[in-house]
């Protein structure tokens, strides 16, 4: 009986996780050599998945998102990390990230790129 209940709980957990990802908005970002194509954006507060594509960069690319307060960048938001480093022609997604009102900075530490801004209202 315990095994059955554990199995049901795990299935419900996976279903809830999938449902949460379906409810999140997807922000698609393309990286070219040394930059993101989208250099700034303004969005409404909510849940987001970041989808990053490598468009012709001859090395793997990644994605880092940090909050910015008083002009200083904070700690990396780990749920925004991509599922893998992205090779040329490939795409990877983050987990669901809950963005609250404020300013955030995003960049690639592998490519590397400048730090770009997301304003969340």
Is residue 9 in a domain?
no
Range of the domain at 106: 24-120
SS3 helix, strand, coil % of the chain, rounded to 5? 20, 45, 35
Is residue 14 in a domain?
no
Location of structure tokens 């507060």: 45
**Residue 42: predicted pLDDT:** 98
The whole model's pTM is what?
0.81
Q: What are phi and psi of 76, to 5 degrees?
A: -60, 140
Is residue 5 in a domain?
no
CATH (domain of 104): 2.60.40.420
Structure tokens at 51: 């989808």
First-residue to last-residue Cα distance in the chain: 48
Task: Report how many domains make up the chain.
Answer: 1
**Residue 51: predicted pLDDT:** 98
Structure tokens at 29: 């970002």
- pLDDT per residue of the chain (121 residues) written in tens, 0 to 9: 444 433 434 344 544 444 444 599 999 999 999 999 999 999 999 999 999 999 999 999 999 999 999 999 999 999 999 999 999 999 999 999 999 999 999 999 998 999 999 999 9
The CA distance from 42 to 32, in Å, is 21
């Amino acid at each position: 009986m315990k095994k059955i209940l554990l199995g049901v709980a795990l299935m419900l957990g996976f279903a809830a996780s999938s449902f949460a990802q379906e409810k999140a908005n997807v922000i698609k970002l393309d990286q070219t050599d040394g930059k993101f194509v989208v250099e700034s954006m303004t969005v409404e507060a909510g849940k987001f998945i970041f989808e990053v594509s490598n468009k012709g960069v001859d090395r793997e690319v990644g994605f880092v998102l940090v909050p910015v307060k008083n002009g200083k960048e904070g700690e990396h938001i780990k749920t925004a990390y991509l599922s893998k480093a992205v090779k040329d022609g490939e795409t990877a997604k983050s987990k669901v990230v809950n963005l609250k009102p404020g300013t955030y900075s995003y960049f690639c530490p592998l490519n590397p790129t400048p730090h770009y801004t997301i304003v969340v209202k």
